[in-house]
C-alpha cells in the first residue's frame, strides 16, 4: 500500500537539542495511527515534522510524496495537511464563522465545504456568530476542528484532539475522523486518552525513551521499521 | 498572490474594526503626541508652524510602530503564526495583505493628524497634490518596511523592545524625505518637494519588492 508518511532515521534538531533522534514510521493511506508516549516523548514533534513545520536534520522524511528535506514545494504539502494542535490558531476578535471562513478560504475551500464544516461541528445559530474570545475551551476546539474539516485535508494530524471536548464533542470528533478516513484521508493522532483513541485507531505506535525510539503495540511489529 | 493579499488584508482590517485598537488606542496616542509637541513649543507659534512637517511625521512614525506591533501580536496569539505557515497562503500575499492593512490604518491616522497640524499648529496647505502623493508614498514605505521587520522581530522573545531599535534607523530616510516634501506642500520652506516624493516612492517600491521575495523565508526561519 502507498505510504503517506515515510520516516526513516528522521532526526530533528531544534537549537542544539535533538527533538527527534532517529524516528522510523510508516503510515499507509487510509490508516488511523495513534502515537502513544509519555510527556516529552516527541509525539507533538513527530506531528509537527509531518506537517512540514519542523526541519528534518538527518534521515528520510517523505510526507504525501514530498521530501521534507526539500524546502521547495512545502506550501503545496501544507495545503494537503491539516494539523489540530494544542494551539488553535484562532483570532479572538473574529466570530466562529469568520475564523472558519478565513482558514477555509486560505486553503481554497469551497463555500459549501466551509458551511458544511460549521454544521458538522455543531457551530450553528448564535454560536456561529459569537466572537472566539467568548467561547469555552471546548467550543474553541470545535471551531479549530471546523477550520480543519473545511480544508478537507488528505492527512489529518491531531495532537491531543480529545482534550477540552465534552462527551458529545469527543463523539463528534471520532465521527468526523471516521468520515474523513472513509473518504480517503489518513489520520495520525496523539492522545493520552488511550482507551478512546485506541478504539479509533487501526494501529498504535509508541514513542519512547525521550524521542529516540519507536515501538508499536503488541502484534503490530510488522509496521515498525526498526 | 493578490487573492491571498486581499484575504489577509480583509481579515486584519476586520480584526481592527472589531477590536478598535487603532481608533481607541493608537489614534488617541497620535493626537496626544501632536498636543504635547504643541504645548512644549507653544510660546512661539512660529517654531510650531515651521516644525509642523517634522512633528507630523515623527507622530506618524510612532504610530507606525504601534500598528506594526499590533499586526504581528494578533498572529502571535494562540499559535497563529504556525497556522499561517500551515494555511497554504502565498507568503508574498500575506506580506502584501498585512502591509495593505497597516497602510489603511496609517492613512486614517494621517488624515486626523493632518487636521490636528492645521488646527493646532496653524499650518497652511499650499500644495495638496504633493501632500497627498507624499502621504501615499511614505505610507507605502512605512507599511512595507514595517511588515518586513515586523515578521523578523515577531519570532523573537524581546520583539516589543527590539522592533523600534531595528525599524527606526531603517525608516530614517522616510522621515527625512517625507518631512522635506511636506515642508514644500505646507509652504513653509521653499524647497522642491517632488524629488523627495520620488525618493519615497523608490523606497516603497524597493521594500515592496524585497518584502514580497523575503517574507516567506523570514516567516519560516525567524
What are the extents of the domains in chain A?
Answer: 3-92+151-223
CA A105 to chain centre: 19
pLDDT of residue B105 exceeding 90, the answer is yes
Q: Report whether A35 contacts A20 (CB < 8 A).
A: no
**A82 HSE (CA, 13 A, CB side):** 26
Q: Which residue has the higher pLDDT, B78 or B66?
A: B66
Q: Which three cell numbers stand for residue A189?
A: 493522532
Q: Do B82 and A87 touch (CB under 8 A)?
A: yes
pLDDT band at A59 (very low <50, low <70, confident <90, very high): confident
Residues of B in contact with A107 (CB under 8 A): 87-88
Residues of B in contact with A111 (CB under 8 A): none
pLDDT band at B86 (very low <50, low <70, confident <90, very high): confident
Q: Do B87 and A103 touch (CB under 8 A)?
A: yes
Residues of B in contact with A75 (CB under 8 A): 88, 90-91
Q: Report whether B143 contacts B106 (CB < 8 A).
A: yes
- Residue in B15, B19, B83 to test binding to A, most A beta-carbons within 10 Å: B83
pLDDT of residue B19 exceeding 60, the answer is yes
Range with the lowest mean pLDDT among A79-83, B60-64, B187-191, B193-197?
Answer: B187-191
Four-CA torsion B60, B64, B70, B75, nearest 10 degrees? 160
Give the distance from residue A138's alpha carbon to the nearest chain B alpha carbon, in angstroms: 15
Q: Where are the beta strands (DSSP E) in A102-202?
A: 155-159, 186-190
Whether residue A78 lies within 8 A of chain B, CB to CB, comes out as yes
Task: Give me chain B's average pLDDT, please.
Answer: 87
Give the DSSP H/E element, type plus range, for residue A79.
helix A74-80
What class does CATH assign to A3-92+151-223? alpha beta
Q: List helix spans (H) across chain B.
A: 2-19, 21, 27-41, 45-76, 80-86, 91-121, 128-154, 159-185, 194-221
Q: Which residues contact A15 (CB under 8 A, 6 or more apart)?
A: none
Q: Which three cell numbers stand for residue A46?
A: 513527530
Give the distance from residue A215's alpha carbon to the nearest chain B alpha carbon, in angstroms: 29
Q: Which residues contact B217 (CB under 8 A, 6 or more apart)?
A: none
pLDDT in tens, A169-187: 888 888 888 888 898 899 9
Residues of A in contact with B220 (CB under 8 A): 71
Stretch B37-64: mean pLDDT, rounded?
82
pLDDT in tens, B130-146: 889 999 999 999 999 99
Task: Select from B74, B86, B87 the Cβ nearest to the Cβ of A91.
Answer: B74
Whether residue A55 lies within 8 A of chain B, CB to CB, comes out as no
Q: Which three cell numbers stand for residue A71?
A: 524546502
Nearest one of B113, B141, B124, B126 to B198, comparing CA atoms: B141
Give the DSSP H/E element, type plus range, for residue A33.
strand A32-36
Residues of B in contact with A134 (CB under 8 A): none
Give the distance from residue A85's alpha carbon to the nearest chain B alpha carbon, in angstroms: 9
Range with the lowest mean pLDDT among A13-22, A38-47, A86-95, B173-182?
Answer: A13-22
Residue A40 pLDDT:
77
| Distance from C-alpha of A222 to C-alpha of B16, rounded to nearest angstrom | 54
Whether residue B14 lies within 8 A of chain A, CB to CB, comes out as yes
Q: Which residues contact B101 (CB under 8 A, 6 or more apart)?
A: B8, B9, B12, B13, B16, B71
Task: Select from B14, B78, B85 the Cβ nearest to the Cβ of A87.
Answer: B78
Task: Give me chain A's average pLDDT, please.
Answer: 82
Whether residue A75 lies within 8 A of chain B, CB to CB, comes out as yes
| Distance from C-alpha of B21 to C-alpha of B110, rounded to nearest angstrom | 16
Percent of chain B at pLDDT exceeding 70: 95
pLDDT in tens, A97-117: 999 999 998 888 888 889 898
Task: Using the CB atoms, write b or e for A22-46: b if 16+ within 10 Å.
Answer: bbbbbbbbbbbbbbbbeeebbbbbb
pLDDT of residue B222 exceeding 70, the answer is no
| Distance from C-alpha of A141 to C-alpha of A137, rounded to nearest angstrom | 6
Q: Given strand A66-67, what is the order of strands in its sheet?
A: A17-28, A3-14, A58-63, A66-67
Q: Which three cell numbers stand for residue A98?
A: 469568520
- Residue in A15, A77, A93, A164 to test binding to B, most B beta-carbons within 10 Å: A93
Q: Do B14 and A79 touch (CB under 8 A)?
A: no
What value of ipTM does the predicted structure carry?
0.80
Nearest one of A147, A157, A71, A81 to A116, comparing CA atoms: A147
| Distance from C-alpha of B12 to C-alpha of B20, rounded to nearest angstrom | 12
Whether residue B88 lies within 8 A of chain A, CB to CB, comes out as yes
Whether residue A81 lies within 8 A of chain B, CB to CB, comes out as yes
Amino acid at each position: 500500500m502507498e505510504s503517506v508518511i515515510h520516516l526513516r532515521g528522521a532526526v530533528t534538531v531544534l537549537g542544539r537539542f535533538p527533538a527527534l533522534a532517529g524516528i522510523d514510521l510508516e503510515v499507509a493511506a487510509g490508516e488511523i495511527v495513534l502515537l502513544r508516549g509519555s510527556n516529552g516523548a516527541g509525539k507533538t514533534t513527530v506531528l509537527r515534522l509531518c506537517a512540514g513545520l519542523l526541519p528534518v536534520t538527518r534521515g528520510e522524511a517523505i510526507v504525501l510524496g514530498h521530501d521534507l528535506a526539500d524546502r521547495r514545494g512545502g506550501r503545496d504539502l501544507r495545503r494537503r495537511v491539516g494539523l489540530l494542535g494544542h494551539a488553535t490558531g484562532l483570532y479572538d476578535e473574529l466570530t466562529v464563522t469568520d475564523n472558519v471562513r478565513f482558514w477555509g478560504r486560505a486553503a481554497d475551500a469551497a463555500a459549501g465545504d466551509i458551511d458544511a464544516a460549521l454544521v458538522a461541528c455543531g457551530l450553528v445559530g448564535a454560536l456561529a456568530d459569537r466572537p472566539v474570545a467568548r467561547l469555552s475551551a471546548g467550543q474553541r476546539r470545535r471551531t479549530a476542528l471546523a477550520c480543519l474539516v473545511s480544508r478537507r485535508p488528505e492527512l489529518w494530524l491531531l495532537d491531543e484532539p480529545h482534550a477540552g471536548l465534552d462527551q458529545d464533542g469527543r463523539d463528534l470528533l471520532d465521527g468526523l475522523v471516521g468520515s474523513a478516513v472513509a473518504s480517503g484521508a489518513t489520520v495520525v493522532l496523539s492522545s493520552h486518552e488511550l482507551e478512546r483513541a485506541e478504539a479509533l485507531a487501526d494501529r498504535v505506535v509508541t514513542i519512547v525513551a525521550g524521542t529516540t525510539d519507536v515501538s508499536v503495540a503488541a502484534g503490530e511489529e510488522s509496521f515498525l521499521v526498526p | 498572490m493578490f487573492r491571498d493579499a486581499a484575504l489577509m488584508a480583509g481579515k486584519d482590517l476586520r480584526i481592527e474594526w472589531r477590536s478598535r485598537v487603532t481608533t481607541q488606542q493608537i489614534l488617541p496616542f497620535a493626537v496626544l503626541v501632536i498636543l504635547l509637541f504643541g504645548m512644549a513649543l507653544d510660546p512661539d507659534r512660529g517654531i510650531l508652524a515651521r516644525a509642523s512637517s517634522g512633528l507630523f511625521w515623527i507622530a506618524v512614525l510612532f504610530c507606525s510602530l504601534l500598528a506594526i506591533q499590533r499586526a504581528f501580536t494578533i498572529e502571535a496569539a494562540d499559535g497563529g503564526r504556525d497556522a499561517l505557515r500551515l494555511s497554504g497562503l502565498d507568503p508574498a500575499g500575506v506580506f502584501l495583505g498585512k502591509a495593505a492593512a497597516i497602510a489603511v490604518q496609517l492613512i486614517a491616522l494621517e488624515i486626523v493628524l493632518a487636521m490636528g497640524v492645521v488646527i493646532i499648529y496653524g499650518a497652511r496647505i499650499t500644495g495638496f497634490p504633493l501632500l497627498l502623493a507624499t502621504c501615499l508614498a511614505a505610507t507605502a514605505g512605512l507599511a512595507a518596511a514595517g511588515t518586513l521587520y515586523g515578521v523578523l522581530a515577531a519570532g523573537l522573545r524581546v520583539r516589543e523592545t527590539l522592533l523600534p531599535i531595528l525599524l527606526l534607523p531603517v525608516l530614517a530616510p522616510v522621515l527625512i524625505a517625507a518631512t522635506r516634501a511636506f515642508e514644500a506642500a505646507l509652504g513653509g520652506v521653499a524647497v522642491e518637494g517632488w524629488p523627495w516624493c520620488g525618493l519615497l516612492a523608490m523606497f516603497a517600491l524597493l521594500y515592496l519588492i524585497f518584502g514580497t521575495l523575503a517574507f516567506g523565508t523570514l516567516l519560516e526561519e525567524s
